[in-house]
Amino acid sequence: MMFSAAAAALLTALALVVVRAIRGPSVFDRVLAGNTVGTLAILLLAVIGFLTGRPEFLDIGLTYGLLNLISTLAVLKFFRHGDLAYDPSEEAGS
């Protein structure tokens, strides 16, 4: 009962965050919305795992959390430096 309410709240929040991801306006708003979608997806996975009595879903959530961190940082690095292999030591005084 409580888990169904939590799942409904998480789905509502996901819909609102996806609207923000579509509307933008800057690329950083979209990255922020994408990261939040990842967070909400992990929570939704955990809640659905409890709802259906299959806590194995937590492993998927853990993996997804690690992937979410790496992908967000990679996208940010790409948009900041225009290059995924950017090395700050090559550029003096930056």
Partner 1 sequence: MIALALDVLSGILIAAGAFFVVVGALGLLRMPELFTRMHAASVIDTMGAGLLILGMMLQTGFDLVTLKLFFIAALFFFTAPVVTHALAQAALHEGINPALTEDRRVADDPRGRRR
Q: Which residues of this chain interact with partner 1, rule CB under 8 A? A: 2-3, 5-6, 8-10, 12-14, 16-17, 19-20, 23, 25-26, 28-29, 31-33, 35-36, 39-40, 42-43, 46-47, 50, 55, 58-59, 61-62, 65-66, 68-69, 72-73, 76-77, 79-80
Q: How far is the CB of 80 from partner 1 (least distance, A)?
A: 4
**Alpha carbons 83 and 88: distance in angstroms, whole number:** 11
User: Residue for token digits 């259906």?
Assistant: 52
Using alpha carbons, select from 16, 20, 7 the residue that is nearest to residue 50: 7
Q: How far is the CB of 9 from partner 1 (least distance, A)?
A: 4
Q: How far is the CB of 90 from partner 1 (least distance, A)?
A: 17
Alpha-carbon dihedral angle through residues 24, 30, 34, 39, given to the nearest 10 degrees:
-80
- Choose between 32 and 89: whose C-beta lies nearer to partner 1: 32
Q: How far is the CB of 13 from partner 1 (least distance, A)?
A: 3
Angle at 42 between CA 39 and CA 45, to 5 degrees: 150
**DSSP H or E segment with residue 54:** none
